[in-house]
Every structure is written in C-alpha cells, then in structure tokens.
Amino acid sequence: MLDSLLSLGGLVLLRDSVEWEGRSLLKALVKKSALCGEQVHILGCEVSEEEFREGFDSDINNRLVYHDFFRDPLNWSKTEEALPGGPLGALRAICKRTDPGPVTIALDSLSWLLLHLPCTTLCQALHAVSHQDSCPGDSSPVGKVSVLGLLHEELHGPGPVGALSSLAQTEVTLGGTKGQASAHILCRRPRQRPTDQTQWFSILPDFSLDLQEGPSVESQPCSDPHIPPVDPTTHLTFNLHLSKKEREARDSLILPFQFSSEK
C-alpha cells in the first residue's frame, strides 16, 4: 500500500518525528511520481535545492521543478529574487497551470507553512488545491493533483494537526523499532470505511522504496489456531451459569423503570 499512496490523489500527510525523519520517504514518493511521468513541483522551505536533489539521477531531476523558499523565505535580503506571493502564491500558480496532466506537489514542509501562516488560510489553500476547484473560471480539464505534505508532529498542537488530518485522504505516520522504519498508513477512500495498515520499509541509496516484512506485518493480532481458547470459568468455586428456568425468569422480569399497563 505504501507504494500506491499517490494513486488516490488528494492530500497525503507524512507525519514524522525527530527520531524517525520523513524526508527520505518524501523523496522516495517524489521519485515514484517522476518515474510515472508526472510533473513534480517541490515547495522547498526547509532544505536547499542541492540537498533535496541529492541522490536523484538526472532523469528524475529534470522532472522536478523546485520552488526555492529556503534561501530567503522572509525576504530579509530585500532583493528582487524573492518569489512573489510566497509559498501559497506558488501553490496557486501551480494549480493555474495549463498542462492537463497529473501533477504531484511536495510540501517540504507543511510544518514550516503552518508555523508561518494562519491555519485556516493554509487549510483553505490545501483544500482548494487537492480538490482541484481553485480555478472556477478555467474551462480546461485539470489532471489529478496529489499533494504530499511533510508534517513534523511535535511542532504543533492537536488542533492544527487534527484540521490537516481531516483534509487528508491518506495519513502516513512514521515510526519504527530496532533500527527498522515503519509506516502506519490510514487511508480514507470516498464512500468506503477508512483502512489502516502498518508497512515496514527501508529507503535505498537511490531513494527507491524497499518494502519489508517486519516484526508484525498485520495490524491486528490473530489467535494461534493450535491453542484452544481457555474457559475462564473452569476453576471457579461458585456457579456463574443459569439453568433454563432461571434464564426464563430473568428474561420475563419487568424492571422498575420500565412503564407497563399493570403499573
């Protein structure tokens, strides 16, 4: 399921922590999109363009469009190089594109945007982008938009995280044990029950995804069929069972708070 996250489109939330960083997985998913022939836009706020492109070969790098908000995001240098409109302006500009093909937008990171923009503004922009309705007057067909948002969980309170979570079609929470990384994937498909799954994985040096069998592949424990279930009433010194007569008497009892014609 981890390698098909982007097939649904919409917002994919990558929740990472200090212990289990998520940028490697973000880059692996970006590489996957590029290999599928999609156009990939990166809103880079936390790392430099060189660092983000490191590890990708030239085929992948040629498909990546990097919007640099790392060097001077707050325009302290007061030069003309600052991108107008900030990150949200860039996001809207990507959405107004004329190319109808599918596009993936990677937000590195959503945490940076959430710390610098009002939560409501950010949520509205994400809703508009991931639901493809930010171009009301544009009659040209718009392709599938997938938004990958990297979120550092510890930086935000439950309110903003909950708001972003409610917007997301898919949530991936990174964790792991004993040096092996895992992704807990919660998927919300329209008109279906949410599904969740835990996938163990590693990222190879070329940022390919290597799915693995981890300590626990299934998210729910299954009982061992060879051991019969133990009856907890076997060694009791008192009787918990009811005879047939006692059961009938109990079922026909009228409780004090029940209204009946006899009372």
Residues that bind another protein (CB under 8 A): 18-19, 21, 23-24, 27, 46, 48, 50-51, 54-55, 70-74, 76, 111, 115-116, 152, 154-155, 157, 179, 202-205, 207
Q: What minimum distance in Å lies between the beta carbon of 250 and another protein?
A: 50
Residue 103 has a CB neighbour count (10 Å cut-off) of: 23
Tokens of 214: 């981890």
Identity of the residue, 74 or 227, whose beta carbon is nearer to another protein in the bound complex: 74
Q: Which residues are within 8 A (CB) of 25 and not within 5 positions of it... i.e. 6 or more apart? A: 14, 16, 172, 174, 183, 201, 203, 209
Identity of the residue, 23 or 67, whose beta carbon is nearer to another protein in the bound complex: 23
Residue 141 has a CB neighbour count (10 Å cut-off) of: 7
Q: How far apart, in whole angstroms, are the C-alpha atoms of residue 70 and residue 72?
A: 6
Q: What minimum distance in Å lies between the beta carbon of 201 and another protein?
A: 11
Identity of the residue, 165 or 202, whose beta carbon is nearer to another protein in the bound complex: 202
Identity of the residue, 135 or 203, whose beta carbon is nearer to another protein in the bound complex: 203
Identity of the residue, 3 or 72, whose beta carbon is nearer to another protein in the bound complex: 72
Angle in degrees, 0-180, between the axes of helices 119-130 and 158-167, rounded to the nearest 10: 10
Specify the DSSP class assigned to residue 154. G
HSE-up of 220 (CA within 13 Å, CB side)?
4
Q: What minimum distance in Å lies between the beta carbon of 15 and another protein?
A: 12
Q: What minimum distance in Å lies between the beta carbon of 161 and another protein?
A: 13
Q: What minimum distance in Å lies between the beta carbon of 205 and another protein?
A: 5
